[in-house]
Structure 1
Amino acid sequence: MPDAPAASLDVLRQRWGYSAFRPGQAEAIGAVCEGRDVLAVLPTGGGKSLVYQVPALVRPGVALVVSPLIALMRDQVDALHARGVRAAMAHGGLSRRDQEQLWTDAEFGRYQLIYLTPERLQTDLFQSRAPRLPVSLLAIDEAHCISEWGHDFRPAYRRIASARGLLTTASGERSPVVAVTATATPEVRRDIVAQLELQDPELVVRGFDRPNLVWSVLHAENKAQTVLDVFEGVPGPGLIYAGTRKATEQWARRLAAAGMSAEAYHAGLAPEARTNVQRRWIAGETRVIAATSAFGMGIDKADVRAVVHTALPPTVEAYYQEAGRAGRDGERAYCALVIGPRDEALPRAMAANSHPSPAQVQAVYEAAGSLAGLAIGSEPDGPTRVDPSRLATLASVPEPLARAALQHLAEQGAWSIRDARPDRVRVRVHQTAPALLAYAEMQKPPLARFITALLRTLPPEAFGDGADVRLEKLTRATELSEPRVLAGLDFLQQREIVSTTRGAGVDLVWAASRATSAPIDAAALARGQRRASRGLDHVVRYAQSVGCRRQHLLAYFGESAPSRCGRCDVCLGRHRPAAVTPEDESDLITILGAVERDEPRASWLPDTSPRRRNALADWLLAEGLLDLAEPLADVYALTPKGLKALRRRS
Structure 2
Amino acid sequence: METPLDLLKKYWSHNQFRPFQEEIICSVMDGNDTLALLPTGGGKSVCFQIPALMRPGLCLVVSPLIALMKDQVENLKARGIKALAVHSGMTSREVDIALDNAVYGNYKFLYLSPERLRTNMFRTRAKNMNISLLAIDEAHCISQWGYDFRPDYLLIAEVRQMLGDNIPVIALTATATPAVADDIIDKLSLQNPRFIKGGFERENLSYVVRQTEDKFGSLLKIVKGVQGCGIVYVRERKKAEEIAGFLVSQGISAASYHAGFSARERESRQDEWLAGKSQVIVATNAFGMGIDKPDVRFVCHFDIPESLEAYYQEAGRAGRDGNRSFAVLMWNNHDILRVRQIIRMTYPDPDFITSLYQKLCKHYQIAYGEGSGFVSRFNLKEFSQKFKMHAPSVFYAIKYLESEDILELTEELDIPSRITFIVNRDELYKVQLSSTSLDSFIKSLLRLYQGLFSDYVSIDEEYIARATRNSLPAVRSLLQRLSAMGIINYHSGTSSPLIIFNVDREKEGIFRISSTKYAQRKEAFTERIEGVISFAKEEDKCRSGILMEYFGQQHWRECGICDICIENKKQGNFQDYEQRLERKIIELLLESPRSLDDFEILSEDYTGAWKEILRDLIDRGGATLNGNIVSITNKAH
- Tell whether the structures are fold-level matches, with TM greater than 0.5: yes
Aligned residues between the structures: 527
Task: State the Cα distance separating 1:372 from its structure 2 match.
Answer: 3.5
Task: State the Cα distance separating 1:110 from its structure 2 match.
Answer: 1.8
Identify which of 157, 166, 191 aligns with 1:174.
Answer: 166
Aligned residue for 1:68? 64
Relative to 1, partners in 2 of residues 1:543 and 1:197: Cα closer, same or farther, differing over 3 Å?
same
Aligned residue for 2:542? 548
Relative to 1, partners in 2 of residues 1:256 and 1:294: Cα closer, same or farther, differing over 3 Å?
same
Q: Aligned equivalents of 2:371 and 2:189: distance in 1?
A: 37
Give the alignment of 1:30-179 within 5 angstroms. 30-168=26-164, 174-179=166-171
Give the alignment of 1:420-499 within 5 angstroms. 481=474
Aligned residue for 1:461? none
Task: State the Cα distance separating 1:523 from its structure 2 match.
Answer: 2.8
Identify which of 567, 570, 573 aligns with 1:573.
Answer: 567
Task: State the Cα distance separating 1:201 from its structure 2 match.
Answer: 0.6
Check if 1:528 corresponds to 2:521.
yes
Q: Aligned equivalents of 1:144 and 1:413: distance in 2?
A: 17
Task: State the Cα distance separating 1:280 from its structure 2 match.
Answer: 0.3
Aligned residue for 1:250? 242
Relative to 1, partners in 2 of residues 1:562 and 1:133: Cα closer, same or farther, differing over 3 Å?
closer
Task: State the Cα distance separating 1:94 from its structure 2 match.
Answer: 2.7
Task: State the Cα distance separating 1:377 from its structure 2 match.
Answer: 7.1
Aligned residue for 1:292? 284
Check if 1:405 corresponds to 2:397.
yes
Relative to 1, partners in 2 of residues 1:40 and 1:384: Cα closer, same or farther, differing over 3 Å?
closer
Relative to 1, partners in 2 of residues 1:526 and 1:51: Cα closer, same or farther, differing over 3 Å?
same
Q: Is contact 1:416-1:511 (8 Å) kept?
A: no
Task: State the Cα distance separating 1:276 from its structure 2 match.
Answer: 0.5
Q: Aligned equivalents of 1:12 and 1:563: distance in 2?
A: 33
Query: Is the partner of 1:106 in helix, strand or coil?
Result: helix
Per mean C-alpha deviation after superposition, the further-off stretch among 385-394 and 349-358 is 385-394
Aligned residue for 1:188? 180
Residue type matched to 2:135 in 1? A
Identify which of 337, 347, 352 aligns with 1:345.
Answer: 337
Identify which of 207, 220, 226 aligns with 1:215.
Answer: 207
Per mean C-alpha deviation after superposition, the further-off stretch among 151-160 and 513-522 is 513-522
Unmatched runs of 5 consecutive residues or more in structure 1: 427-444, 454-468, 492-499, 581-614, 617-650
Residue type matched to 1:206 in 2? G
Residue type matched to 1:565 in 2? C
Q: Is contact 2:67-2:413 (8 Å) kept?
A: no
Q: Is contact 1:417-1:509 (8 Å) kept?
A: no
Q: Aligned equivalents of 2:198 and 2:248: distance in 1?
A: 39
Q: Aligned equivalents of 2:261 and 2:501: distance in 1?
A: 28
Q: Aligned equivalents of 1:147 and 1:80: distance in 2?
A: 29
Relative to 1, partners in 2 of residues 1:175 and 1:277: Cα closer, same or farther, differing over 3 Å?
same
Per mean C-alpha deviation after superposition, the further-off stretch among 69-78 and 565-574 is 565-574
Q: Aligned equivalents of 1:507 and 1:286: distance in 2?
A: 35
Q: Aligned equivalents of 1:471 and 1:230: distance in 2?
A: 40
Query: Is the partner of 1:543 in helix, strand or coil?
Result: helix
Task: State the Cα distance separating 1:19 from its structure 2 match.
Answer: 2.1
Task: State the Cα distance separating 1:37 from its structure 2 match.
Answer: 0.4
Check if 1:200 corresponds to 2:192.
yes
Task: State the Cα distance separating 1:384 from its structure 2 match.
Answer: 6.0
Q: Aligned equivalents of 2:557 and 2:493: distance in 1?
A: 61
Unmatched runs of 5 consecutive residues or more in structure 2: 419-433, 443-457, 485-491, 575-605, 608-637
Q: Is contact 1:146-1:155 (8 Å) kept?
A: yes
Identify which of 327, 343, 347 aligns with 1:355.
Answer: 347
Relative to 1, partners in 2 of residues 1:174 and 1:280: Cα closer, same or farther, differing over 3 Å?
same
Q: Is contact 2:34-2:169 (8 Å) kept?
A: yes
Q: Aligned equivalents of 1:381 and 1:301: distance in 2?
A: 39
Q: Aligned equivalents of 1:504 and 1:101: distance in 2?
A: 23
Relative to 1, partners in 2 of residues 1:262 and 1:575: Cα closer, same or farther, differing over 3 Å?
farther
Residue type matched to 2:18 in 1? R
> Deviation string for 1:468-512 (max 9, x for gaps)?
x99969999xx98377589999x9xxxxxxxx9999564555853
Check if 1:263 corresponds to 2:255.
yes
Q: Is contact 1:369-1:514 (8 Å) kept?
A: no
Q: Aligned equivalents of 1:205 and 1:317: distance in 2?
A: 16
Query: Is the partner of 1:331 in helix, strand or coil?
Result: coil
Aligned residue for 2:551? 557
Task: State the Cα distance separating 1:564 from its structure 2 match.
Answer: 3.7
Q: Is contact 1:151-1:315 (8 Å) kept?
A: yes
Q: Aligned equivalents of 1:198 and 1:422: distance in 2?
A: 35
RMSD of aligned alpha carbons: 3.8
Relative to 1, partners in 2 of residues 1:348 and 1:396: Cα closer, same or farther, differing over 3 Å?
farther
Relative to 1, partners in 2 of residues 1:36 and 1:541: Cα closer, same or farther, differing over 3 Å?
same
Task: State the Cα distance separating 1:324 from its structure 2 match.
Answer: 0.4
Identity %: 38
Relative to 1, partners in 2 of residues 1:508 and 1:191: Cα closer, same or farther, differing over 3 Å?
closer
Give the alignment of 1:379-418 within 5 angstroms. 386-393=378-385, 397-409=389-401, 412=404
Query: Is the partner of 1:296 in helix, strand or coil?
Result: coil
Q: Aligned equivalents of 1:108 and 1:484: distance in 2?
A: 35
Q: Aligned equivalents of 1:535 and 1:390: distance in 2?
A: 32
> Deviation string for 1:362-409 (max 9, x for gaps)?
211232233335676787997666532343345554323323333444
Q: Aligned equivalents of 1:359 and 1:120: distance in 2?
A: 30
Task: State the Cα distance separating 1:155 from its structure 2 match.
Answer: 1.8
Give the alignment of 1:588-599 within 5 angstroms. none
Q: Is contact 2:88-2:115 (8 Å) kept?
A: no
Q: Aligned equivalents of 2:366 and 2:299: distance in 1?
A: 50
Relative to 1, partners in 2 of residues 1:135 and 1:487: Cα closer, same or farther, differing over 3 Å?
closer
Q: Aligned equivalents of 1:102 and 1:348: distance in 2?
A: 45
Residue type matched to 2:243 in 1? W
Q: Aligned equivalents of 2:304 and 2:29: distance in 1?
A: 41
Check if 1:539 corresponds to 2:532.
yes
Q: Is contact 1:37-1:200 (8 Å) kept?
A: yes
Relative to 1, partners in 2 of residues 1:470 and 1:93: Cα closer, same or farther, differing over 3 Å?
farther
Per mean C-alpha deviation after superposition, the further-off stretch among 403-412 and 329-338 is 403-412
Q: Aligned equivalents of 1:105 and 1:501: distance in 2?
A: 23
Q: Aligned equivalents of 2:315 and 2:519: distance in 1?
A: 30
Task: State the Cα distance separating 1:361 from its structure 2 match.
Answer: 1.4
Give the alignment of 1:15-30 within 5 angstroms. 15-30=11-26
Residue type matched to 1:151 in 2? Y
Q: Aligned equivalents of 2:337 and 2:229: distance in 1?
A: 30
Aligned residue for 1:312? 304
Q: Is contact 2:8-2:14 (8 Å) kept?
A: yes
Query: Is the partner of 1:481 in helix, strand or coil?
Result: helix
Relative to 1, partners in 2 of residues 1:157 and 1:261: Cα closer, same or farther, differing over 3 Å?
same
Query: Is the partner of 1:166 in helix, strand or coil?
Result: helix
Residue type matched to 2:286 in 1? A
Q: Aligned equivalents of 2:371 and 2:208: distance in 1?
A: 56
Q: Aligned equivalents of 2:474 and 2:503: distance in 1?
A: 36
> Deviation string for 1:135-191 (max 9, x for gaps)?
1111111111112232222222122111111225xxxx6211101111111111111
TM-score by length of 2: 0.75
Q: Is contact 2:58-2:107 (8 Å) kept?
A: yes
